[in-house]
Amino acid sequence: MAKSAKRNKKRSASQQKSAPVQGHDPQQRGSLPQQMRTAREQIDAESSSNPWLLISALVATALFMFVYYHLMALQQMSQLADGIAMLDQRFFGYGTEAVRELSAAMDEKALGQLNWTHKTAGVIFPIVFGIAAASVIAMVVPSGGRKTVFTGTPARVTLWSMIGIFVIVDIAENILIEAILRNPDSELVGISAALTVGRWVLLVLVVGYSVIAFGASKVRNFSQTAGGAQS
């Protein structure tokens, strides 16, 4: 009897040790990481379902690069050239005399600084602007439906082509400007001036169209919502 009692005590003690402690279920150990993983998936889903978050960031970056490149970096370059405006900022073009004047005011150090500016901000701005503008067009200009100025695949393709041309023209203009500043009597002055005027025209057209198309899409969505509510 005494031995059987001892055996029962040992069994009960081992069962108590093996029994899970209340409030510490092993299945609950992964609950916090699982909740964190679920929350992260929800955030990713919301971000992917709202592409305007990414587009807004691209537009903000493009705007920042425009301000930095045209209003800060090129203005600082003008200070290195006795206050003469850079060729990039001359909306209506320039001639040989203007190129000679600027070239005479810039030494080798200033030309090197301009080259660095063109290779960094001068390349980043048109590329970021192109991506941002193309994304906006993809969102506000539907591919289907009636073919109008603000709807249909032809409108999209036309705008995307303009954006691509702007990026190419902007970068090519930077290269030609540096070439004619080192050789003001070059025959490339006319081509460079045409590219400068063209890039500003394309920039204004793309920005203006994007703004108007965005407003048109809002009006179109409002009309569809109002029509659905009335029906």
User: So what's the pLDDT on residue 67?
Assistant: 96
User: So what's the pLDDT on residue 121?
Assistant: 96
pLDDT digits (tens, 9 = 90+) for 188-213: 999 999 999 999 999 999 999 989 98
In a domain, residue 50? The reply is no
What is the domain range of residue 62? 58-221
User: So what's the pLDDT on residue 91?
Assistant: 94
Rounded distance between C-alpha atoms, residue 88 and residue 82, angstroms: 16
Rounded distance between C-alpha atoms, residue 50 and residue 48, angstroms: 5
In a domain, residue 12? The reply is no
In a domain, residue 44? The reply is no
Angle at 223 between CA 217 and CA 227, to 5 degrees: 150
pTM over 0.85: no
In a domain, residue 123? The reply is yes
User: So what's the pLDDT on residue 21?
Assistant: 47
- How many domains does the structure of the chain reveal? 1
In a domain, residue 20? The reply is no
Amino acid present at 78: S
In a domain, residue 140? The reply is yes
Positions of the chain with pLDDT lower than 50, given as ranges: 1, 21, 23-24, 26-29, 47
In a domain, residue 109? The reply is yes
In a domain, residue 32? The reply is no
User: So what's the pLDDT on residue 6?
Assistant: 52
Rounded distance between C-alpha atoms, residue 93 and residue 197, angstroms: 6
- Is residue 53 classed as helix, strand or coil in its secondary structure? helix
